[in-house]
Amino acid sequence: MTDLYLHPLWQTLLIFLQKPELANRPITLAYSGGVDSQVLLHCLAQLNAKGLLPSAVNAIHINHGLSQHALSWQQFTQQSAEQLGIPYQAIAVSIENKNQQSLEALARDARYLAIEQHSGNNALILTAHHQDDQLETMLLALKRGAGIQGLSAMQSVRKFSVRKFSEQRLIARPFLEVSRAGIEAYAEQHQLHWVEDESNVDQSYDRNFLRQTIIPLLEQRWPQIKQTASRSARHCQQGQLLLEQMAITDLEKAEISTAILNINYLKTLSQPRIINLLRFFIKQNNQLAPSEKQLQQVMNTCLSAKQDKNPEVKLGKYYLRRYQQRLHLTAEFEDVSAWQQQFSSNALNQELTIDLPDSLGKLIVSRAKLSATEIAQQQITDQWSIQLPDDFETLMLAFSHQNPKCLPQYRDKRRPLKKILQELDVPTWQRKRLPFIFINNNLAAALPLFINKEYVAKPTNNCLRITWHK
């Protein structure tokens, strides 16, 4: 469908959008108003006016509020989009300063989240990254000591998965093989105007230092450095694809559930293959990639520990924890051992909603008159029925205990609670996150595991009904 009389950049864009995986997707341009995105907006508008775009297009501008010129940039982008007949919306975001994260990374995360929230589920998100950006990204990855995935730099097309449920979207970069000089030449030829971000001249930012000082020197020595770096990035992407294919094969054999791996299977693999699988496993669970040092710590502790040990390794905001022959990926949990709430018998004359700590949900507690059928049905849901004694005075909920002897409904003999939890194969960290129900200071139930025999509900009007909304 290309036309010999189309501008080369239009042809580049049109051919790119004809890729089968991009078909029938509404196009959303991530539009900053800088020269790169201004050129991409203009190209899209020209193809749209000629009826050559395969689908509808719109532009989203993210106002980060970081510059005193942010509002004027927003006004400029709105006017530009309207003049070119492209539907437009501006989204304001707030950026919270966090330790160990650069302002650039925080702004990117906020920008991508806003774009996800304001684009269609099947959207094709276009950005105007170009060949110079690709070289900068590779050099930054090299500076960090990145592996093959980092040195792959930016892919021309990939899933746009800010959050797990947004994986239907794609992000695409049609100008990755186009130089900054080519884009600026187009802008001058078409007499375009654009905004200049004053932070782009601040060489305290690594990317600006590379752009203004290092890369010009590299180009003087090696004029083709951008093209060869792009080729290297493509080679790394192919290598990374092979590693991911191997990881998928290994994960199918090692995965017990979404966040649990079989350590016995891991031990059949070589160390590089285990590390490759762990990186992929963590990525699939939408967590930040661990460092080489952290992964070596996992190898030395979680995978080499004796069977009766339960080591754990903190990786940012999550943990890898071993229990028996399983490796669990979990969140970083708060200590809830001091939490408890107590209620009198009179307080239960009305339904209670009890918010549990650390995102554990809430319990709905009420008195109930239940039939035998209702009691049986509740035991297979997130509802439990507890028989109240005639002298019932207090209900207490807690996450700690004094290791009382208990008699679950499925046992014939009493045993200390700690032994019961071991018997039920409950991982050590989960034992600290079970709501224990005490009636008159006696353990009645450990949710969701068991009810003590003397508290198993009978078809009477003196029952306690508990529903756990997680």
pLDDT tens digit sequence for 233-244: 999 999 999 999
- Ordered alpha helix ranges (H), 205-291: 206-209, 215-221, 225-254, 263-266, 271-284
CB 365 within 8 A of CB 385: no
- Strand partners for 125: 28, 171
Q: How far apart are CA 339 and CA 417, in angstroms?
A: 19
CA distances from 349 to 80, 345, 346, 370, 410 (A): 64, 7, 6, 16, 31
Instruction: Give this prediction's pTM.
Output: 0.82
pLDDT score for 461: 75
* Residues with Cβ within 8 Å of residue 197, at least 6 apart in sequence: 32, 34, 67
User: How is the chain split into domains, by residue range?
Assistant: 8-233, 258-331, 340-469
CA distances from 212 to 216, 223, 229, 252 (A): 7, 16, 18, 47
Give which of 101, 103, 175 is closest to 134, Cα–Cα.
Answer: 175
**Is the CA virtual torsion 15, 16, 20, 23 positive or negative?**
negative
- Tell me the two tokens of residue 326: 């399983």
CB 153 within 8 A of CB 15: no
Quote the Cα angle for 400-404-407, to 5°: 120
Give which of 421, 400, 418, 428 is closest to 309, Cα–Cα.
Answer: 428
CA distances from 264 to 48, 298, 329, 395 (A): 57, 15, 16, 44
CA distances from 452 to 362, 372, 382 (A): 22, 18, 17
Residue 402 has pLDDT above 80, yes or no: yes
Cα end-to-end span (Å), the chain:
54
| Percentage of the chain lying above the pLDDT 90 cut | 76
**Left (φ > 0), alpha (ψ -120 to 50) or beta: where does 141 sit?**
alpha
Grouping H, G, I as helix, E, B as strand and the rest as coil, residue 131 is helix
Across 109-125, average pLDDT: 89
Q: How far apart are CA 30 and CA 46, in angstroms?
A: 17
In angstroms and rounded to an integer, the radius of gyration of the C-alpha atoms of the chain is 29
Give which of 84, 86, 90, 82 is closest to 32, Cα–Cα.
Answer: 90
Across 342-355, average pLDDT: 93
CA distances from 30 to 62, 84, 113, 171 (A): 8, 16, 12, 10
Across 378-404, average pLDDT: 87
Residue 250 has pLDDT above 90, yes or no: yes
**Left (φ > 0), alpha (ψ -120 to 50) or beta: where does 437 sit?**
beta
pLDDT score for 162: 64
447 φ/ψ angles, rounded to the nearest 5 degrees? -85, 140
Residue 1 has pLDDT above 50, yes or no: no
* Residues with Cβ within 8 Å of residue 221, at least 6 apart in sequence: none
pLDDT score for 376: 67
Q: Which of 54-58, 340-344, 380-384, 408-412 has the lowest mean pLDDT?
A: 380-384
* Residues with Cβ within 8 Å of residue 155, at least 6 apart in sequence: 173, 237
Per CATH, is 8-233 categorized as 3.40.50.620?
Answer: yes
CA distances from 126 to 111, 113, 366 (A): 13, 15, 53
pLDDT score for 286: 86
Q: How far apart are CA 238 and CA 244, in angstroms?
A: 10
Q: How far apart are CA 185 and CA 191, in angstroms?
A: 10
- Tell me the two tokens of residue 272: 């590089």
pLDDT score for 90: 95
Q: According to CATH, what is the number of the domain 258-331?
A: 1.20.59.20
Grouping H, G, I as helix, E, B as strand and the rest as coil, residue 419 is helix
Per CATH, is 340-469 categorized as 1.10.760.10?
Answer: no
Residue 2 has pLDDT above 50, yes or no: no
- Tell me the two tokens of residue 420: 């019961």
pLDDT digits (tens, 9 = 90+) for 90-103: 999 888 766 556 77
Neighbours of 290 (CB within 10 A): 21
- Strand partners for 456: 386
CB 370 within 8 A of CB 385: yes
Q: Which pLDDT band holds residue 433 (cuts at 50, 70, 90)?
A: very high
